[in-house]
Structure 1
Amino acid sequence: MRLILLAIIAAVVPTAAAAQTIDLGALTGGGDGSTVGTIIQMFGLLTILSIAPGILIMVTSFTRFIIAFSILRAGIGLPSTPANLILISLSLFMTFYVMAPTFDRAWADGVKPLMNNEISEEVALERISQPFRSFMTNNVREKDFALFSDLATERGNIDANIETADLRVLIPAFMISEIRRGFEIGFLIVLPFLVIDLIVATITMSMGMMMLPPTVVSLPFKILFFVLIDGWNLLVGSLVRSFA
């Protein structure tokens, strides 16, 4: 009986394994392109998805928001409050709010027709990038774009028109423009807190409290000042309105 049972198992297992063989043609969709081309497209899609956070930072308003919030936290004197998760989440939601027209246009003009097989991948890539190109063009500094345009001209790329410039020229120019504006806004944020620190330090020194750190005394006043002026409302509104 044991020999018969082993013989039945040996006969059934290869049949079940053969029935579960993966059909590569079904995975690739049976399109006009070759299997190798389809695999390369899938690999490229996975690569783009893996660097999606970096793309979000490079071509959107996220950089300006996170720099301003980080400088605000440092200016108040709270190194971990609000937490990084809160600041990043707030920056992301504000980015989605500012970039909503750009995302909607990229979806309607490029992504949706591509999913419906109405346009090719090349046309879809051009249509998807065009709204982001317009956003970066409206917010990049001319001096920063001129810098990278001159560098590109020195290396053989003579297209110096901002409307048709290569994304390899426009994106870094936009990024350094956003970093500069973030620091400009951060300076205006930190300035009143610096004044409070100076006032508190002068008072404590005049009272002879040499061993008492002025920041310990000034911290409650800075928090109270920021709350009384409704600082979050003013800062978020100003940041959103700062984008063209």
Structure 2
Amino acid sequence: MKGLIGKKLGMTHFFSEEKGQIPVTVIEAGPCVVVSCKKEQAKNYTKLLLGFQKAKYPYHWDKQKLESEEPVKGKRLNKPQTGIFSKAGLYPHSVMLEFRVDSKDKYKTGDVLKVEDIFKEGLKVDVRSKSKGRGFSGVIKRHNFHGGKKSHGSMFHRAPGSIGQGTTPGRVIKGHPLPGQYGNKNITIQNLEVVKIIPEKNLLLVKGAVPGAKGTLVKVQETVKFRGREFGK
């Protein structure tokens, strides 16, 4: 699956002569560096490891290897993470994600993948990101329960109510909607259309909404369930 790592910048609208006003999500997709590309013999697939956003200069990194690189502000990496880039001879990046590809012949360590190399306007993609965390929430907010009467004298307002039967089965059925952690989960939105690509700014405009707040890391890849035009054709 072709794809890139990116960052959600926010939402806006795009005007098209054919479709009029289109709500779009602006994603800063790439540039991503190829860290490694190797075939998993046990699972019979080729995995492509990409790096995104340069990390802060590690304390234990040999500065003689990369004299031309300047330190950047950001997250520091531990030794195992830094060792992956040290082995490849690349500057450490704070984000690493894997993508499945058909063949490893097309990619070499150190190659830089940009948004115009992977995506085209009018294609369908899947976007995966982490939704906003809303903490511990009740059943009305978390599961859209109706709730009880708001009138005077009612003793039932926002409680979940009955959660099971009596002696039989004598337990709460698994999966029953109850209060708990709401949000902060990885969600994939499928079949979003690429409306516009701005190569000079590494921007990708996709139709519709993408989970998460501004600055959330996203994984954009070719769609799994094709609807309409296929990826790359």
- TM-score normalised per structure 1: 0.22
> Which structure dedicates a bigger proportion of its chain to helix?
1
Which structure has the greater CA radius of gyration?
1
- TM-score normalised per structure 2: 0.23
- Greater RCO (Cα-Cα under 8 Å, separation 6 or more): 2
